[in-house]
Amino acid sequence: MWSLFIKEVNAFFSNLSAYLITSVFLISLGLIVWVFPGTSVLEYGYADLEPLFSYTPFVFIFLLPAITMRMVAEERKTGTWELLKTSPLNSSQIVIAKYFAALALLFFSLIPTLIYYFSIVQLGDTIGNIDSAGFFGAYIGLFLVGALFASVGLFSSCITSNQIVSFVIAVFISFLLYGGIGAMASLTSGDLAVLLEGLGTDFHYEQMGRGVIVSENIYYFLGMILTFLVCSWVLINRDE
């Protein structure tokens, strides 16, 4: 599993498009947080990173599918998938190794954004005047959103051997989870609205964005991630 994990991480960083994807991600967030009117922290006037946490999930909708679209689809297209299937690794180990590689790439992409936190700490009228607990609570929620989209991307990559199709499917499902279901909930009422709202990723993320980590929200993310990983495992076993 470790060798497959390292292979996936190296395969990503050995590709020029990987650096392009990461650069676009960081530049986009930088423009949102510091430059664009209406979202700039400097214009907002408070030691707060709300724009970062409000808009990053929408960037994730495209970033994570771009990271994961090749993980299974490319191996099928190039013919290396059969070699991997005949290796000592079973289907669950393949899924876990590839998923943790996606999480590592997500982590590497998020680490540079911590500079925004340290910048805000220094820019406050009183240095350090920032809700650090709220920030890191929201940061954990942000990572969980990315982790969920990574599982969606891996699942989509298991569906097809075409990376572009995999990307489109992952973007669609991620958008449906983050925003789409919530929009449908607003069009209904009663128990159905409550049910749909609870299924929406944005509902649970916004609660964590307030800095309050509730077990219900953690269980939601873990349950959804496990669901897509199990679906990926089923699709991989179907090839046998």
pLDDT in tens, 101-110: 999 999 988 8
* Longest Cα separation, the chain: 62
Report the domain count for the chain.
1
pLDDT of residue 129: 62
Instruction: Report helix, strand or coil for 127.
Output: coil
Q: What's the pLDDT at 128?
A: 57
Residue 116 confidence (pLDDT)? 82
pLDDT average per 10 residues of sequence, the chain (240 residues): 81 78 85 78 68 87 91 82 77 91 91 83 66 78 94 94 93 93 83 85 84 84 96 83
Structural domain of residue 80, as residue ranges?
Answer: 1-239
**CA-based R_g, the chain, Å:** 19
Could you tell me the two tokens for 154?
């891996």
> Looking at residue 102, what is its pLDDT?
92
pLDDT value of position 45 = 61
Cβ-contact 140, 122 below 8 angstroms: no
What is the residue whose two structure tokens read 């996936």? Answer: 8
As a whole number of angstroms, the distance between CA 127 and CA 228 comes to 43
Supply the DSSP symbol for 47: S
Round to whole Å and give the CA distance between 160 and 105: 22
